[in-house]
Amino acid sequence: MWATDPKILYSSTVTVYTILSKVHSDRHVYPAAGVLFVHVLERECFKGEFPPYPKMGEISNDPITFNTNLMGYPDRPGWLRYIQRTPYSDGVLYGSPTTDNVGKLTTIEITAYNRRTFETARHNLIIHIKLAEDFPLPYQAEFFIKNMNVEEMLASEVLGDFLGAVKNVWQPERLNAINITSALDRGGRVPLPINDMKEGVYVMVGADVTFSSCLREVENPQNQLRCSQEMEPVITCDKKFRTQFHIDWCKISLVDKTQHVSTYQEIIRGEGILPDGGEYKPPSENLKSRDYYSDFLITLAVPSAIALVLFLILAYIMCCRREGVIQLVHHSAIQKSTKELREMSKNREIAWPLSTLPVFHPVTGEIVPPVHPDSFDNTSMPLMQTQQNLPHQTQIPQQQTEGKWYT
């Protein structure tokens, strides 16, 4: 049925031809050593590769992830990194090749996975690394940007804005981005998902002129003191970055490669061949067996002898010396007293209250029977006995109103 409709057949044919030209064909790139290399894996180039194939003008938004590896190996080269935040965002290959990779053909296998249909598509990225004309740039500065993630910084317009700000501050003739590293690769922590916090990114740039006075301000003793106290240093050119980039000036690194050129020139590389040491002579077959019995006895006898000597010294101090005997007697007395207290606690009785104990008469000294609560009613008992209730009480004469005395 679909073969009778030439319009549908033509559209489908054109669509497949376009996708094949984008995906299955090998791509060749030519990065320079010592310069940042960025390659974006666009999801749009792979969407039409997974069946069912979309028609002309049809939009699909399937989740797609990428796997990148060096051809014949399970991982990528050491200088090449890859990042993709979500299956709905593009992947990015980035890194900075070194001079050791110049002239070597590097083929990266890129495999795209459709997470909805589980279909795959693959193409190769062939990297031809060449030597840069202005390599190496002798003056290199590494900045730590706190309000950026690595995939945001890899965007061409954002990286261009940052290099423009650095150029205004540094004023070099040649300025290149050398490398970009996520703070997580330097041991940083994953930020909390609040206030749109960023993980931070390190950006290294190189120039052909010495560092400007503004970049040197971080080396001042005042700024070094503020950095040691976890305070923000005072940098005059910070306002040129602050509008878009928040730089941690305490983490800036300034490297002058001109001071290390002589050291690298003195390195003499050999041919990688070990010197001839003569013919190999294996050990003789008539080796004498070694008796480990004496070693075993020594291993056990020496610690045992030391332990025995220490035991005898402790026994002499505790049993034969006066101090030791006193300690033993004191310990025995404590144990005896403890035992007696425990026996007494088993037979103890409840003590009578003080109000039930016998008391003495304050004048005659006779024993007054105790006031027991069971003998009479407590409610009618006065709190204190009057003088008339006390026997043998001496009468004290009382004075009448007329002024006469009576006995």
What is the tens place of the pLDDT at every residue in 312-323? 998 887 777 666
Domain shared by 80 and 145, yes or no: no
Closest CA to 252 of 145, 387, 367: 145
The predicted structure's pLDDT at residue 324: 64
Domain of 157, CATH number, reads 3.30.70
CA-CA distance, 341 to 134, in Å (whole number)? Answer: 96
The predicted structure's pLDDT at residue 108: 93
Q: How confident is the model at residue 56 (pLDDT cuts 50, 70, 90)?
A: low
Closest CA to 65 of 80, 83, 49: 83
Name the domain count of the chain: 2
Tokens of 111: 């495999």
The DSSP 8-state label assigned to residue 318 in this structure reads: I
Looking at the DSSP bridge assignments, the partners of residue 264 are none
Is pLDDT above 50 for 383? no
Does some domain include residue 300?
Answer: no
Domain shared by 146 and 104, yes or no: no
Is pLDDT above 50 for 228? yes
The predicted structure's pLDDT at residue 49: 76
Does some domain include residue 369?
Answer: no
Q: What angle do CA 168, 171, 177 make, to 5 degrees?
A: 80
Domain shared by 124 and 143, yes or no: no
Domain shared by 146 and 255, yes or no: yes
Does some domain include residue 45?
Answer: yes
Cα distances from 55 to residues 21, 46, 113, 133, 374, in angstroms, run 17, 14, 20, 47, 112
Q: Are 325 and 332 in contact (CB under 8 A)?
A: no
Is pLDDT above 70 for 398? no
Pairing between strand 201-207 and 139-145? antiparallel
Higher pLDDT: 13 or 331? It is 331
The predicted structure's pLDDT at residue 266: 44
Higher pLDDT: 86 or 134? It is 86
The tens digit of pLDDT for each residue in 178-205 reads 999 999 888 888 887 777 788 899 999 9
For 209, the domain range is: 139-260
> What pTM was computed for the model?
0.56
Of 98, 128, 158, the one marking the end of a domain is: 128
Closest CA to 219 of 171, 248, 256, 253: 253
For the ranges 79-83, 93-97, 307-311, 373-377, the lowest mean pLDDT is seen at 373-377
Q: pLDDT averaged over the chain?
A: 76
Tokens of 204: 């290294």
Is pLDDT above 90 for 290? no
b/e string for 65-103 if b means 16 or more Cβ within 10 A?
bbebbeeeeeebbebbbbebeebeebbbbbbbbeeebbe
The predicted structure's pLDDT at residue 310: 94
The predicted structure's pLDDT at residue 273: 61
Does some domain include residue 118?
Answer: yes
Domain shared by 159 and 255, yes or no: yes
Higher pLDDT: 390 or 288? It is 288
Looking at the DSSP bridge assignments, the partners of residue 285 are none
Domain shared by 161 and 234, yes or no: yes
Domain shared by 150 and 66, yes or no: no
Domain shared by 73 and 93, yes or no: yes
Domain shared by 93 and 174, yes or no: no
Higher pLDDT: 345 or 397? It is 345
The predicted structure's pLDDT at residue 329: 76
Domain shared by 76 and 113, yes or no: yes
Domain shared by 35 and 112, yes or no: yes
The DSSP 8-state label assigned to residue 138 in this structure reads: S
For the ranges 6-10, 79-83, 369-373, 383-387, the lowest mean pLDDT is seen at 6-10
Four-point Cα dihedral 48, 54, 55, 59, nearest 10: -90
Q: How confident is the model at residue 22 (pLDDT cuts 50, 70, 90)?
A: very low
Domain of 69, CATH number, reads 2.60.40.10
Q: How confident is the model at residue 280 (pLDDT cuts 50, 70, 90)?
A: confident
Is pLDDT above 80 for 17? no
Of 209, 226, 260, the one marking the end of a domain is: 260
For the ranges 17-31, 54-68, 259-273, 277-291, the lowest mean pLDDT is seen at 259-273
Does some domain include residue 43?
Answer: yes
The predicted structure's pLDDT at residue 83: 92
Does some domain include residue 383?
Answer: no
Higher pLDDT: 392 or 43? It is 43
Domain shared by 152 and 120, yes or no: no
Does some domain include residue 239?
Answer: yes
Closest CA to 172 of 205, 202, 133: 205
Does some domain include residue 191?
Answer: yes
Mean pLDDT of 42-55: 75
Of 128, 149, 175, the one marking the end of a domain is: 128
